Amino acid sequence: MQFPLQMCCLSALLLILGCNSAYRTTARELGIPHAERTVEEGKVRLVAPAGSPVQTFEFTVGQRPAFIDGISYYLNRPAGTRDLSRDDIRILRAALLAPVVSKQTLNLLIDPGHGGTDSGCRKGDVHEQKITLAIAREVQAILKAKGHNVNLTRPNEKTTRTLDERTQLGASLKIDAFVSIHVNASANPEAKGVETYTLPAFGCEGTLPNSPARGPLAGHAHVVASTRLAYYVHQALLAKDETTPDATTIADRGVRHAHFKVLRDTPAPAILIETGFITNAEDFARITDVAQQKQIANQIAEGILKAFGSVTTK
């Protein structure tokens, strides 16, 4: 079928105008209206002006995986052809681009995953619950030394805490944040790296298989703060130790979303960190080394403080 020349020209003009306006609304509503926008072959890149808390956003149309200042981040909904979803714009602007009101003293609950009769994943005689407790204790010591109030959901390897007990403890302590520390495992020994989870926005699916939208949940009231906490802790965990030239680069598996019990029921900002794979040789060496455990703890503490405005009182 042949089209009149005028119609072909009009179609081409509309296509050009569409490309020119794609993600303009997203940039404006993120609070970076003068961001440089590049839209090419389904790839979108926004570069904010100098001085912005976040410099670059990269999205792929129709997909959830994105990059924010080079950090892997999963959107709550796939990126649209013209703009991000309203949920993602709202959360990203408030979490990463808005000013942070800092607190003098933080009240934190650090959750060493598993414990007692639940040892978590294992490799030989090395159990997840021992690794998570060692890292959690270091995080507690670092932040206490800076003047913050820090409690653990379990004090030792023998104590068993149900998930309900952990979330209820957070409620009773009136915490500012809940950070759950875990170790990952996979049937694929090549799987490695760090994942950080937060609750998805209300009405959105998680990034794990069979994770349908749920809610409203207690955690949905804290999605913005949880996203900020997850992003900065994840960013810190990926930072290379410049004092160690041969330090291993940590694989970035992204800030992801899940409806884990501790994320959905904790009445405060909450994240869950998978520090590495016990089933991967490289990760195993890192998460079981005492010096590396202290480094991981320092990075988690650094991320927490940055998320809350880098507050210290000592």
Q: Give the pLDDT of residue 248.
A: 64
What's the pTM?
0.90
In this structure, the answer to whether residues 176 and 272 fall within a common structural domain is yes
Q: For the segment 201-212, what is each residue's pLDDT rounded down to a tens digit?
A: 999 999 998 889
Tell me, yes or no, whether 303 and 176 share the same domain.
yes
In Å, what is the CA distance from 128 to each residue of 5, 123, 125? 68, 9, 10
The series of mean pLDDT values per 10 residues for the chain, 314 residues long, is: 45 44 92 93 94 95 97 97 96 95 92 88 92 98 96 90 94 96 97 98 94 92 98 94 64 97 96 97 96 97 92 50
The angle, 0 to 180 degrees and rounded to 10, between the axes of the packed helices 290-307 and 128-145 is: 50
What pLDDT is stored for residue 1 in this prediction? 42
Say if residue 70 is in the same domain as residue 192.
no
Please indicate, yes or no, whether residues 84 and 119 belong to a single structural domain of this protein: no
* 64 and 142 both lie in a single domain: no
Question: Which residues fall within 8 angstroms of residue 179, CB to CB, at 6 or more apart?
Answer: 108, 109, 110, 111, 139, 229, 233, 270, 271, 273, 300, 304
76 lies in some domain = yes
Same structural domain, 133 and 280: yes
Q: Are residues 207 and 64 in the same domain?
A: no
DSSP strand pairing (71-74 vs 65-68) = antiparallel
Tokens encoding 185 = 């495992």
Q: How many CA atoms lie within 13 A of 141 on its CB side?
A: 12
* Residue 215 and residue 69 in one domain: no
Would you say residue 38 lies in a domain?
yes
pLDDT at position 110, please?
98
pLDDT at 103: 84
296: domain CATH number?
Answer: 3.40.630.40
Query: Would you say 196 and 303 are in contact if contact means Cβ atoms under 8 Å apart?
Result: no
Residue 153, SS3 per DSSP: coil
CA 18 to CA 34: how far, in whole Å?
Answer: 18
Residue 4 maps to a domain: no
Query: Are residues 148 and 197 both part of a single domain?
Result: yes
Q: Are 227 and 219 in contact (CB under 8 A)?
A: no
Q: Are residues 92 and 112 part of one domain?
A: no
- What pLDDT, on a 0 to 100 scale, did the predictor assign at position 159? 84
Same domain, yes or no: 165 and 288: yes
| Widest CA span in the chain | 79
> Are 255 and 235 in the same domain?
yes
Note the pLDDT of residue 243: 56
User: Ramachandran region of residue 124, left (φ > 0), alpha (ψ -120 to 50) or beta?
Assistant: left
pLDDT single digits (tens) 177-193: 999 999 999 999 999 99
Q: Where are the beta strands (DSSP E) in the chain?
A: 36-40, 43-47, 56-60, 65-68, 71-74, 107-112, 122-123, 126-127, 149-152, 177-184, 194-198, 252-257, 270-277
C-alpha 301/C-alpha 145 separation (Å) is 11
Give pLDDT, residue 313. 45
The last residue of a domain, from among 97, 130, 151: 97
Distance CA 277, CA 237 (A): 14
Among 35, 67, 97, identify where a domain stops: 97
d(CA 254, CA 235): 9
Tally of structural domains, the chain: 2
Domain extent, residue 80, equals: 22-97
